[in-house]
Amino acid sequence: MTAGWEIMAPLDLDKYAEIAKQCKYLPENDLKRLCDYVCDLLLEESNVQPVSTPVTVCGDIHGQGDFVDRGYYSLETFTYLLVLKPNGPTASRSCVETMRADRSPKFMASMFVHINNLKLICRAHQLVHEGYKFMFDEKLVTVWSAPNYCYRCGNIASIMVFKDANTREPKLFRAVPDSERVIPPRTTTPYFL
């Protein structure tokens, strides 16, 4: 081998997905390589991606695995989303919403939909006890996908399935009963030591 060159094995995304689904951690070097790979993909794509139907929208999941800030399985969930990313530009998205204080949210949603030639704004990032909620003449829907948020809110969760541009179907689900929930041992993730 030439000095300064290192031959790397290709990323085994299927293997990584299975490890994450089993709620196990990837070896640190593999996770770092996966992060670097996904960062390169994200740098190459636009921050707005067109989406064609059929599509399924999943709201906040909160580890139940959010993006590593709460829930028992946050890192495993984040790892799984990293594994999904190379399969398409819309596999994982984040959300930031702002509204001007001098305009009503209904007005802003209507204007945004009109100006951008959209039919619907589909968002997350706000607990909805019934799993989803349409607002503003059905121009905006909030989808919440973390059942029993933070293991104490008792809410229903949902995903929203769009079969075509005019057909949307919410699918509701409840949390795993407490008696069936597997709580991992309290250990520190080895990467952060």
- Has residue 66 got a pLDDT over 70? no
Element (H, E) at 63: none
Alpha carbon separation from 110 to 29, 165, 169 (Å, rounded)? 47, 18, 22
Sequence-ordered list of residues with C-beta below 8 angstroms from that of 63, at least 6 positions apart, any chain: 70, 71, 72, 73, 74, 76, 77
Q: What angle do CA 24, 183, 192 make, to 5 degrees?
A: 50
Domain map (residue ranges) of the chain:
13-176
Whole-number average pLDDT of the chain: 79
Q: What percentage of the chain reaches a pLDDT higher than 70?
A: 78
pLDDT tens figures, 79-130:
888 888 887 655 544 433 333 444 677 877 788 777 778 888 888 888 999 9
Q: Distance between CA 68 and CA 78 in Å, rounded?
A: 7
Whether domain 13-176 has CATH 3.40.630.30: no
- Distance CA(95)–CA(145), nearest Å, equals 14
Which is nearest to 26 in space by CA: 77, 88, 90? 77
114 phi and psi angles, rounded to 5 deg: -65, -50
**Residue whose token pair is 């085994």:** 12
Say which residue, 51 or 69, is predicted with more confidence. Answer: 51
Residue 27 identity (one-letter amino acid): P
| Three-class DSSP category at 39 | helix
pLDDT 10s digits, 168-182:
999 999 998 888 888
